[in-house]
Structure 1
Amino acid sequence: MAREKLNAVKVRQSPAGKYGDGGGLWLVKRDKDTGSWMLRMSVHGRLRHMGLGSIAEVSLAEARAAAQKWRAVLREGRDPIQERERQRRDAARNLHLLADVARDAYEARQAGLKGDGKAGRWFSPLEIHVLPKLGKTPVAEIDQIAIRDVLRVIWKAKSATAEKALQRLGIVMKHAAALGYPVDLQAVDKAKALLGAQGHEVQNIPSLPWRDVPAFYASVGDGSVTHLALRLLILTGLRSAPIRFMRADHIEGDVLTVPAELMKAQRGKAMPFRVPLTPEMLAVIEEAKRHARDGFLFPSVKKGVISDATMARLMERREMEARPHGFRSSLRVWLAERGCPRDIAEMILAHSVMGKVEASYQRSDLLDIRRSWLDRWARFVVTGKDEASVEAPAGAEVIPMQAVAHG
């Protein structure tokens, strides 16, 4: 240990060499103008040297304070160098921003989303309503107050979107915890409690009255990708994704098999769905094949497939209140008013109407019966003329789901 203490002048003017300040603190000068601080100590019987920074950035007083701090750690039986590394790791962990973790969580789930999440629906509630205000906040600092404050403005005005944003944020927080970041996993639930009841009514997507569908169908007949996609959406009653991402190899004969990843999950699990193709549907598909690119029947102008908004914009430009998804409602109401059994109508729309026991008995997807109803719907849509009620195909037996024995 050096006997003479350093001072600011010695630190500044001393030539190259090593100069002790006592207590294991040393000044190491490379030349007159440059040098660094070093703390020498014995850790568990081993001589260790711990750098404390350069003289250009750390003053003598700061070096002495740092040396005192790490000597206290050593007296507690801990290795100061290992302890400093641990603190640095913790600090780095705490600086992970919510925006970065949210993006990482989204990418981790992307393969399980419809179309690999390319439509952006999963991420958009966060991107639009949460990240602009909280994106640059370290994820470890996100608490229920911050979440409440950012979602309060849309909690009642845009209740469905707010619920989605909260649900996605919960997933992001769990993802952060899995990465080892110190987050409050209860923050989302506590924020929901603070936000209180929404007191909202679910707003259905506007639909076109079924009597007006033939006129609209006739108006989208220029053979463009958008018009053809709308026609097939109307005829099949499918949601947007199975239409937009339809490929020629999804079709075999007069049956379209929609892959599970393009179907909405029922009870947490999406399943492939077979659609009987009527002559009118096949004609639309045949016309769409001339637009096909990379296997997709409804490609966009630049790359990929048409967006979910493309068809909606066409209706918006015509100043229509109805939206493409509403044609499912048009079809459903038409089926009900024409006497279609509820279970068949729900199956046409790919809704799940069976419990586990019922599903174990009902092995058929009633393709031929659904074909009869969709063929009648297609003739109505094309001609505007309705027909008598549909009869079941020869040999087919319609079994109401509620009549199936339970055990």
Structure 2
Amino acid sequence: MRRVYLDEVKPGDKLAWPVYLSSGEVLFEKGRVLTSEDIDRLHEWRVVEVLIEGYDEIEKELERERMLLEVFKEAHKYTVEYSRNVLERLSRNVEVKREEIGKVVLDTIENLSINKDVLLMISAYFKRKDDYLFVHAVNTMTIALAIGGYLGYTEEELEHLGMGALLHDIGLVHLADGNEERKEHPEVGFKIVKNTLSNVHPVVTNIILQHHERKDGSGFPFGLKEGEILKEAMIVGVAEVFDRLTSPRGEGRRGSSFEAMKFILSNTKDKFDPKVVEALMRVMVIYPLGTLIRLNTGEIGRVAASTPNPFRPKVNIMFDKYGRPLEKIVRIDLSEELAYRLYIAEVLDESAYDLDLSQEITA
């Protein structure tokens, strides 16, 4: 698919996307082979550009993203397995070197600098029920580091934040049942890390101890209030709630990123630091990467990338308005003038569609 100015369109060119009138009515459907008369009509309607089928920079960009996604998926899988080994040893009170945990954090910081959107998408969509605590630890760390980066943390501060995030539920790993209602787990985790991790920074241990505290005093284990809770613990608290709400648990469906964001926003006044929540929104955006959406014209796709306009991201269209899969993914930048008539009309429920994000992107 390539974007072509109307003056450069030739008879025989095939439309890769419908042409819409200002009323929203379709002038020409996708797949139409344009004639001279069609081009004249487009001029009459003052159409400036159209999307024509053909391999171009957009498809090259999609291919680069597929390759990067595969690399990051493997890195995420390795990080989860590596973290499992470290966390299980710690939970058994086996001494672990600080550098072993620091390696995971520094690798994640580097990957975030390469492509934050792709790494956060993997954290949001590639989850396993059987490894929940370990996947949750890695995802919470990734989201917390993205928030910290947005807030301007130094590399040393990010390392402390990332270590605390990775270890925040070590008490649950030790308690074995993974029941997050076990309100003693922050204190259990604090003691484990204090006793088995050499040269651990106080920020790390206080994140473990305070990540369930809330600014209105409703959290645990101490019921601390705003001003008493470490800022890094507030970051990890928001990050872990976001990941928990978007993770499959038991027989329940995985909530969407959009729903998780709404929940966090609705609780910001009483429970969360508004600056941290704003940072979460900036790094995960209103329509997080991978969100399943329907356009006002009926086509279904996923959010592919953010733009300066948070309401008008880039989207990958996969199904036409009749629900039929497209032969090729069509990317549309909703922030561009050519797409001004299009907008996201609805965020769709993942459970209602038999879709596999990993297959969609890597197919």
Q: TM-score range by the shorter chain?
A: under 0.3
Say which structure, 1 or 2, has more relative contact order (CA 8 Å, 6+ apart): 2
TM-score, normalization by structure 2:
0.23
Say which one has the larger Rg: 1
| TM-score, reference length from structure 1 | 0.21
